[in-house]
Chain A
């Protein structure tokens, strides 16, 4: 799994981490009923960071990024996204959600709408963009993910990799400042993983702030500026990818890396 995901050189010229804070999480806790899923999470994400979150299943990594756009509610602590604190105020939640793009493991495209309609729906209804402009933007991003010719098909007619690229384009059409990826390649066949990762690399090269839950360690090495390792609802270790992979500190991380990279 440690091989490079892409054959080309990753262009790091625009990948700049700024001082500006994109997401600030302080002492955040979450329970599912009596089960303590996230424990005292502290995390500061700066603009332009590419963070990969890794960890065994059930460690709370998906829950963590789903808290950032309030698909999950946290019970204690504070989450501030782009200067807006996430509380029960629905207005704030909708504002945050329109600034934060999300890509799901199972794509979650809208099957009753064409690819183009999938991409223009939110800009038209949430951002109130005029239809023509929304279509132009959508076609621009569909070209970027290299499937403009599928614009008038329905999601069911596309392959998994193509659907995931549409899902990325759909998020980008909202011009988000932050992108969240929740295991974007886990439901894909091996040959389709590459096309999705290539799209994500291209996005990183443009300086997008990204938080990515993934098992693609090659992607982490090449693109991330920080790798976070979670276990049992806590951040166990975080470091630059070089250090993280070559010189893991905690035993739990060592064990995880040996399992995931060992074969």
Chain B
């Protein structure tokens, strides 16, 4: 190597050159990730072999799928005719044949459009909440949707959900009138006003309006609502209700007020300490003993309440973790600027605590959505319930893979969607540039 003189001045700058081919493209990727050493190469080859063997086993089964058949034996006959006497194949015909049951349960067939419309409406109502690019005006639709969705699915007089909605309006007005005075008093007044409306005014208003403008849909009983429709109803209601309830419980647990803190802690610890299935049995069986005879308290509503309470207890703990991760300085800065408790929570604390808790919150959501399948044990016919029912019929006795694969895939699509959305949200909210 030539010795460099101490005194050196560069006279011309070097141009950047293209990298050698081993540094770019798929070749480099493969070398770095698959064949970076003899051990890794060995692992790669073994994995490839395992994957190929599995595929070789499963692919023919999927390849020999039959979509049209009336029963399992008919289906097997078709497979043997088409692919040889020893061939094995999937009978997705069962899904084709029982499609409507798996999706809608015993919902009246002439009302499928109502369930479909409710589903489309739900997507429209969720859009502005999930994506800030969607026009904010649509949030009004989101607020009205629960009532519209209820009416579409259960039918009955239009004025029943309207009267229920008016209760919220009355409560909201009472809250507004007193909000300047004291937030706590206003909240109490709003609550009382809404309850008074529901107990005393809602019934007559509903009846009166129904008599004058009889707008109604054919009533559907809760026991006829089933299949995936039921899972979505329970899952989405549980998710939307458990988040705000969880926030309140988390705040309650941190409260300085002894009574509120004790109630919150007691509630959270009790609900978390009890299996969901016992809560569901309580909802379906025991409540009947406690409620006055003759009260008709809808079973789906009871299940939604129990699932919500269950998820809310977990949610509260997840959010408490987010609250604990916030530095004290954030509370102090909010206080020092003169923000009151609720404004500080809403503008400063919760946006940050919820952001930190996103993975845990979505975890709870996904868990809740999958737990909706437990309602099968209290006699509601969700997709799992229908699988049992279908397998008990003489036509489809003996089939199982196809049905479970189908239901599993549907649940996977929803849960994976939630997971993807949470990652998108985390990226979007990342402002700390760490």
Contacts and interface: CB of A to CB of B under 8 A. Distances in A.
A111 B332 contact: no
B347 A121 contact: yes
A112 interface: yes
A111 B352 contact: yes
A126 B337 contact: yes
A256 interface: no
Nearest to B355: A112
Contact of B336 (A97, A111, A157): A97
B340 interface: yes
Contacts of B335: 69, 71, 97
Chain B interface size range: 20 to 34
Contacts of A174: 337-338
Given A104-B332, A110-B348, A112-B351, A97 B337 contact: yes
B26 interface: no
A236 interface: no
A154 B432 contact: yes
Contacts of B343: 125-126
Contacts of A111: 352, 431-432
Contacts of B327: 106, 108
A86 B164 CA distance: 45
A108 B431 contact: no
Contact of A125 (B347, B429, B432, B434): B347
Interface in A92-134: 94-95, 97-98, 100-102, 104, 106-112, 121-122, 125-126
A77 B276 CA distance: 54
Contact of B431 (A106, A154, A170): A154
Contact of A98 (B332, B338, B347, B434): B338
A126 B347 CA distance: 12
B329 interface: yes
Which of B336, B429, B433 has the most chain A CB within a 10 Å cutoff?
B336
A158 B385 CA distance: 57
A90 interface: yes
Nearest to B341: A90
A157 to B, nearest CB: 6
B120 interface: no
Nearest to B346: A125
B337 A71 contact: no
B87 interface: no
B340 A110 contact: no
Given A112-B429, A156-B431, A156-B433, A104 B338 contact: no
A154 B429 CA distance: 11
B333 A126 contact: no
A157 B434 CA distance: 9
B330 interface: yes
Given A111-B432, A154-B431, A106 B340 contact: no
A108 B330 contact: yes
B247 to A, nearest CB: 16
B339 interface: yes
A66 to B, nearest CB: 8
A122 B339 contact: yes
Contacts of A154: 431-433
A156 B352 CA distance: 14
B325 to A, nearest CB: 12
Contact of A126 (B329, B338, B432): B338
Given A122-B338, A126-B339, A104 B431 contact: no
A71 B338 CA distance: 11
A132 B343 CA distance: 20
A104 B337 CA distance: 12
Contacts of A110: 330, 333, 348, 352
Contact of A71 (B332, B348, B351, B434): B332
A254 to B, nearest CB: 34
A170 B334 CA distance: 11
Nearest to B348: A110
Contacts of A100: 336
Contacts of B433: 154, 156-157
B329 A125 contact: no
Contacts of A69: 335-336
Closest 8 CB pairs of A and B: A98-B338, A108-B333, A108-B329, A122-B337, A102-B336, A97-B338, A156-B433, A154-B431
7 contacts: A71-B335, A94-B340, A97-B337, A111-B352, A112-B351, A125-B347, A126-B343
Given A104-B332, A121-B337, A174-B337, 14 more contacts: A71-B336, A95-B338, A97-B336, A98-B337, A100-B336, A104-B329, A104-B336, A110-B352, A112-B351, A112-B352, A112-B431, A121-B347, A125-B339, A125-B347
Interface of B: 327, 329-330, 332-333, 335-340, 343, 347-348, 351-352, 355, 429, 431-434
Interface of A: 69, 71, 90, 94-95, 97-98, 100-102, 104, 106-112, 121-122, 125-126, 154, 156-157, 170-171, 174
